[in-house]
A and B are shown apart, each in its own frame.
Chain A
């Protein structure tokens, strides 16, 4: 089955830019979606189809995807962005929805 690899943790100071990677074999040929998960709350879709934002998600959240790495970028990081972030793709073989292992974003 298809494997998505994320770094366990990323730390960034407020106001700086956070970059969260999601690695997969030729992931650039797939479309990637990103979720933010905070304790006690349901996950929230923050980027879909590599780089699109759902209504209500700040422009500070952006995504890109090429080669073997997809990236979620959060600009001007705020304390409220502290959460776990998960990437996700659709694997056509077996019609599976696959998640990465998650990255904990810490705002210093």
Chain B
């Protein structure tokens, strides 16, 4: 059974960088799956932020709403992947989830969620 365990700070100051990590068990970050970050907020609902995946080399795709501010990258030595979202504003306050896509472009396993508040 795949399990995703998230970690990272719950409070980030405006203009700073939000960083979260997702540790994978039961699968490998280097496998054929895609490793995603998604957030949920009352005002915006579910919003896909992007993903990283391995196809002979490491690739990444990003959501249009955060493109230019977001980076998602793997750490194969720790079997995990990370999200970095820079120049945050209060609009980035949300519950952040990591999730896997494997058999298709849908998300079958999710992390437990991290509540992130952007506030000074």
Residues of A within 8 A of B (CB): 1, 31, 33, 35, 37, 41-45, 48-49, 54, 84, 86, 88-90, 94-102
Q: What are the residues of chain B within 8 A of A43 when measuring CB–CB? A: 40, 46, 97, 107, 110
A67 to B38, CA, bound (A): 28
How far is B107's CA from A71's CA once the two chains are assembled, in angstroms?
19
Residues of B within 8 A of A100 (CB): 45
**How far apart are A47's CB and chain B's nearest CB, in angstroms?**
9
Q: Which residues of B contact A35 (CB under 8 A)?
A: 46, 107
Interface size class of B (residues with CB under 8 A): 20 to 34
Secondary structure of the A side of the interface?
strand
Q: In whole angstroms, how far apart are the Cα atoms of A94 and B47 in the complex?
A: 15
Residues in B67-120 with C-beta less than 8 Å from chain A: 97, 101, 104-108, 110-113
Q: In the bound complex, do residue B63 and residue A45 qualify as a contact, i.e. CB atoms below 8 Å apart?
A: no
List chain B residues, Cβ under 8 A from A88.
46, 106-107
Q: How far is it, in angstroms, between the C-alpha of A98 and the C-alpha of B106 when the chains are bound?
A: 10
Q: Which residues of B are in contact with A by a Cβ distance under 8 Å?
A: 36, 40, 45-48, 51, 61, 63-64, 97, 101, 104-108, 110-113
Known: A42-B97, A43-B110. A86 touches B46 (CB 8 A): yes
Complex: A88 Cα to B36 Cα, angstroms: 14
A-B contact pairs, 22 of them (CB 8 A): A1-B64, A31-B104, A33-B105, A33-B106, A33-B107, A35-B46, A35-B107, A41-B113, A45-B106, A45-B108, A48-B104, A88-B46, A90-B104, A96-B63, A97-B36, A97-B51, A97-B105, A99-B45, A99-B48, A100-B45, A101-B45, A102-B46
